[in-house]
Amino acid sequence: MNYNNNYQGFKKKYINNCSNYNFQGQKSEEKHLDEKYKIKTYSDNGKINANLINEQAKELAEEFSKQKLANTQLRNFYGECLAYKDMEYEDLKIRLILLKAKLAYTKGRNAITQSFYEFMENRINCIKSKKDFEFFLMHFMTIIGYFKYFTKDKNK
């Protein structure tokens, strides 16, 4: 009897059955980032698009809070981005590439939501200058503030 073929079949069946479940064994329905939240640029005539630090930040924070995104994960990624603030743009580009890999790793562990992963990918891809990065930090900071507002009662 060929045990290797049986193992491969079991492994394939096990992986297919488990990939739709989160780490707590619950069936997971991955929600993707709504197209209306995807952006192409941060600025209007050299100034931050006011919607990014107002209504869109509020809506995104509310959406993330409904999806059970952990405050610690949100703050961890913001803290890492904040550490890049004083870098030259060329060094910053390299760090952002590495950050995308870290996001993929964290998503692979199911520690962040699909929606947050897509949000960060979109926002990182829109950073084309040091000014864009500063606008990204402002946008991210407002999301964290609203996120705390929407999750304040959940932590009690």
SS3 128: coil
pLDDT single digits (tens) 100-140: 999 999 999 999 999 999 999 999 999 999 999 999 999 99
Q: Is the pTM of this model over 0.85?
A: no
Measured CA to CA, the distance from residue 56 to residue 59 in angstroms comes to 5
Query: Above 90 in pLDDT, residue 11?
Result: no
pLDDT single digits (tens) 44-62: 888 999 999 999 999 999 9
Measured CA to CA, the distance from residue 65 to residue 126 in angstroms comes to 24
Measured CA to CA, the distance from residue 59 to residue 128 in angstroms comes to 25
DSSP state at residue 32: P
Measured CA to CA, the distance from residue 26 to residue 43 in angstroms comes to 41
Q: Where residue 40 falls among pLDDT bands split at 50, 70, 90?
A: very high
Measured CA to CA, the distance from residue 53 to residue 42 in angstroms comes to 10
Measured CA to CA, the distance from residue 36 to residue 77 in angstroms comes to 23
